Structure formats: structure tokens, C-alpha cells
Amino acid sequence: MPEKSQHVTGTRFNPRSLRVESEADARRIISELGSDPAGVRIMSGKMVHLAVSIENVQARAAHIIKEIALSKGAECATPRELMVVEGTEPVNVILMGTRSQLRKVIKNLSVQPFGLKTLSGELKALLSSMPGTTPRVLEPGGHRLELGGRTLVMGVVNTTPDSFSDAGAFADFEDARARALEMGTAGADIIDIGGESTRPGAEPVTLEEEVHRTVPLIESIAGEVGVPISIDTYKAEVARKALDAGACIINDISGLRFDPEMIPLAAERGVPVVIMHMQGVPRNMQENPVYDDVVADISRFLRERASEAVAGGVEPGRIFVDPGIGFGKTVEHNLEIVRRIEEFRSLGYPVVLGTSRKRFIGSVLDRPVTERLLGTAATVAFAVARGVDVVRVHDVEEMVEVVRMADAVAGRDRDRG
């Protein structure tokens, strides 16, 4: 006898699965059904399913987490050897359930021993930072940046003669100035100015040379470009002079590590900072990069660096995080980061992603750097759909359109003001 078809063939009831991306999305879906407002509030948390990775809990605490999770209708995956490891031995677990169930689990964990009260607080903060929370506004340099609505576009101007992306096309002052102004006209939300190449194998330049390449340009465009200017540097003195010249955001590829004066400077000036992950330094970062779990390892790094920045006086609301595509990662690492980019949103900070013209695109498509526009567009559109906040790109005119269309498909606010 032939197997019966598993396809749903009936049309009377039209059953189908629903894509629910956030609690706000759930509220919209239930409201459109015509449900009572009180019911919308109650049911929306039951429509959003989450899976949360938790590291380094004591084995005896993992037992408690699992018991509480099961009692609330949730689930907790634990290692097979949990029953035989010592009570204080650290293990990793995965907590699963609806947002509503997890809230109940978190409440119960708050009165438990073995570090679970602290875990309860961290999980509560995680849930509050997930997609669907209230948008926020930054006003760097008097400019308005709205986060949580449409995706922002950061345009890149490299003033280096050995830039990987444009072969030094904007090393000349007038060319760089013209390009920056073009980006502002084309719809960039931020202009990112860099004066030192960070391509694999690049050697550092002197502070004086980096200042010479960036500060006059920033002074020249600050009053004309009409959007915030970011200084791409890991040197505090370069950042200081750039801020004095009119920049109002610091973008540090070292994650605020290389110069001990960078955090105090950012705190003193009250400017937003982009904390990026990099394994190694540019001249050696591509020498056999290794991770246990690339997303988990980078998330841990970014969380630690953000905490260090906050401890040094940087306001949490002024921190962005960037997983650092191409900075100490293989092709597969980069693909996995993009594929799992929404996991970085659980850190509670806006996420910046810079895939533009990167080598992993060339490796996948077998294209030189000058022919990676379509590959870049694919990664940008994918990242927008997954909720990234800022895309850092070279081809602003084209990517503004890609972002606008992707925002429209994703149902995000697409007003470009």
C-alpha cells in the first residue's frame, strides 16, 4: 500500500503556523483577532517561545532549575552526566519555554540558593532586553538617532592608502571629503572615519599620522554632513582630537582594550561607543583563529567589555556592540555570526554589523573585493531581518535601498526622516 500523504489538504479551517518574532508581534497578532485588551496582555507572553543558554551553574543548582522549569510548564536541557558530577561542579544548561513560563521560573529562582538569586536577576535583565522592548533615542553631537525602529546605516570612509576595501581611493583629502558628503546626501545615518588600516596583516601607524589623516577631514565635514561622525580608532589621543574636531561617536576595534585612557575619555565626554570584538591584533588576527563556540565566546567578551566600560563611567545606554566580522574569524565563523546575529541582542545593547566587502563574501562567491556588492547586500538584508540595529557599509547609496526594503519586509519602521 502506498504511504498516505502527510500534506494538509483540507481548506475549511486553513490551519497554518504563525511566525511570532517578539512579544510586541504577539500583541499585534492577538489584537488583530479582536481579543479583549486584558487578554492580549495575558496571552502575548504565551506566544513567544525562548531558548536561553546558561553557563557555569553548579550541578546542584542545575537540578533546581530543571525542577522549577518543569513545574511551570517549561523545560531545561542538562548534560547527560549531571547525575554523576559533583554538586558544585560547573555545568551548562538550556532553559526553554514561553516568555510567560520563563517569567514564573525566574521569580522562583530568586529565592533559591547556590547563586540562583543572581541568575534570576541576570535572566530578568535578559528578558527585558529582548526584541520588542521600548525604542530609545541617542543624540550624539545634537543629532538624533532612534534605535529600535528602522535599521541605521553607518557609512565608511577609509583615509588610508592601504585600505582593503577601496585600495586607498579616499587617501586624498578632497576625495575623502567629497565621499563623506555624498554618503550624508545618500541617506547614511552615521559617517565613520578611519585613518589606520585594520585589514589582516596590517601594521599600525603612528598617532601623528592617524591624526593627520582623520582630524582635518572631520573638521571639514562636521558642519556640513548633517549626521553624526564616528571616529574609528583604538587610540585615545586620536579619539580626543577627533571629538574636539566634531566627531561624536567612538568606534574601537579593540573593544576599549588597547588604550587604558579610552574608557575614561568616553565617560568624560559622554559619547556613544562601539565595542568590537577582535581575536589578536590586525597583523596576526587571521593566524588560525579558534573558538569553542564563536557566538558564545564573542558574547562573553562583549559582555565583559561593556561591564568594564560601565564600571569606568560610560552610560549603558551609550554602548553599541559589534561581533567584529573578519577580525580573527574564519569564513565559517563569519557565516555563523551572521546566521546567529540576533543572539547578540540578548546582551541588551544595540548591535552593529560590518560585513561590507569582507573576505568571507569573496570566499563564498569567488569574487574580488570590487565585486562583492551583491554578496554584501545579501548579508545586510539577512541581518536586518534578524533585527540588527546598525549596518556598517561602504556602498551607502545601494545599501540604503537594501535596508529600506528589508525593513519594509520585516515590518520595521522605515521612515528615513
Q: Is 358 a catalytic residue?
A: yes
**Beta strand pairing status for 136-138 and 90-98?**
unpaired
**Beta strand pairing status for 390-393 and 152-158?**
parallel
For 121-146, give one letter per residue: b (16+ CB within 10 A) or e. eebbebbeebbbeeeeebebeebebe
| Separation between Cα atoms, residue 410 and residue 389, nearest integer Å | 13
Give the CB-side neighbour count of residue 4, counting CA atoms within 13 A: 3
CB 148 within 8 A of CB 182: no
**Strand-pair partners of 231:** 193, 250
Q: Is 179 a catalytic residue?
A: no
| Separation between Cα atoms, residue 403 and residue 410, nearest integer Å | 10
| Separation between Cα atoms, residue 234 and residue 254, nearest integer Å | 6
- Report helix, strand or coil for 233: coil
Catalytic residue from among 358, 359, 372, 386: 358
Contacts (Cβ under 8 Å, ≥6 apart) of 177: 217, 220, 221
Catalytic residue from among 199, 240, 359, 392: 392
Residue numbers annotated as active site = 358, 392
